[in-house]
Amino acid sequence: MFIEIGPASLVVNGEKEGVLYEFDKRRIEEKVRNILQDIREYLPVLKQKSYRIKNTKHMPDVPKRMVQAAKLIDEMSLTPMAAVAGSVSDALKEYIMDEGLDRISVNNGGDISILNRTGKGMKVGIEDILTDNAPRYTLNITGLTNYGLATSGFGGRSFTLGLADSVTVIAPTGAVADAAATFICNNTSVNTAHVLRKKACEIDPLTDIPDEYVTTEIKYLTEDVIRDSLEKGLQLASHLKLDRHIYDAIIKLKERIVTTIHGDYPITLEVQNGN
């Protein structure tokens, strides 16, 4: 089922006893409208850096999730808007969980919240945002029941401060995966004359990061810059994994890839025509 309301473009899939589930589309759309209205009402707060937000008790569910996820990952640099898509996915998934489904996937523009009670593994392809080539990398996820998966990168829907083509994160929730992917990708930045940046407010006056210099064009990257960028992202991802905020991360830049994935459980990474 596809739903498009305002900034939300959602693909909602469900399975019960091996059969695709038919949702009440009008009921789901009404829930999405209510979630988006809650976010709109708190936008002035949600566009602040997370460390400035001291009290969330009065907030509705989704804005509160956004703040909590951003604070968990990095409250100094992130606004809660870094977790908006994943938080919407989580809330919608939880809303339909009481229908007794075995499998649920709520995909909000690539930020996905998943429930998998079947015991069967799931495969997720990682595409190139800029070239739209067929996926060369595939995640095999086995043994996780309730989790989130999000991707951030240059050329995606949102601004980035970094260079990475994509940063894909698997985490306990879609909100945390969303915030972590944004944070890691932002920190793949390397100073070089071959990367052009602009203040975000010059591109979008309504952005939540008006004074940040966001990446607008990548002309050429040397091998040293690529290595440094990937290493910066990997170090952050490794710290987040060590702190148990995320399960794993995969970072891609110019056909190079680094990852926190080691071993074969619960997440493995397959590479087409490679090891």
Q: What does the chain come to in residues?
A: 275
Residue 245 confidence (pLDDT): 98
- At residue 132 the predicted structure's pLDDT band, cuts being 50, 70 and 90, is low
Q: What is the pLDDT of residue 6?
A: 87
Tell me the pLDDT tens digit for each residue of 28-62: 999 999 999 999 999 999 999 999 999 999 999 99
The CATH number that applies at residue 132 is 3.10.520.10
How confident is the model at residue 47, as a pLDDT? 97
Cβ contacts of 42-49, under 8 Å, gap ≥ 24: 45/80, 46/79, 46/80, 46/81, 46/84, 46/208, 47/79, 47/81, 47/208, 48/79, 49/75, 49/76, 49/77, 49/78, 49/79
Model pLDDT, residue 133: 67
Tell me how crowded residue 66 is: count the other CB atoms within 10 A of its CB. 32
Specify the amino acid at residue 78. Answer: L
Name beta bridge partners: 270: 138
pLDDT of residue 25: 93
pLDDT over 80 (residue 128): no
pLDDT of residue 223: 95
Average pLDDT over residues 97-117: 93
Position 66 pLDDT exceeds 90: yes
More confident residue, 178 or 16: 178
pLDDT in tens, 153-174: 998 778 999 999 999 999 999 9
Domain that holds residue 180: 2-271
**Contact indicator for 61, 78 with CB cutoff of 8 Å:** no
Q: How many domains does the chain have?
A: 1
Single-letter code of the amino acid located at 213 = Y
Q: pTM to 2 decimals?
A: 0.94
pLDDT of residue 100: 87
256 contacts: CB under 8 Å, gap ≥ 6: 226, 227, 230
Q: Decide which of 265 and 152 is more confident.
A: 152
The structure tokens listed for 134 are 């067929």
d(CA 241, CA 130): 27
Taking each helix axis from N to C end, the angle separating 223-242 and 174-186, rounded to the nearest 10 degrees, works out to 150
Reported as type and span, the H/E element at residue 233 is: helix 223-242
Residues 6+ apart with CB under 8 A from 164: 152, 153, 154, 184, 185, 188, 229, 230, 233, 251, 252, 253
Q: Are 66 and 87 in contact (CB under 8 A)?
A: yes
Amino acid at position 43, single letter: L
Structure tokens at 200: 């975000």
Tell me: pLDDT of 275 over 90.
no
Mean pLDDT over the full length of the chain: 92
3-state secondary structure of 132: coil
Contact 217, 195 (CB under 8 A): yes
Radius of gyration of the chain (CA): 18
Tokens linked to 14: 């469900």
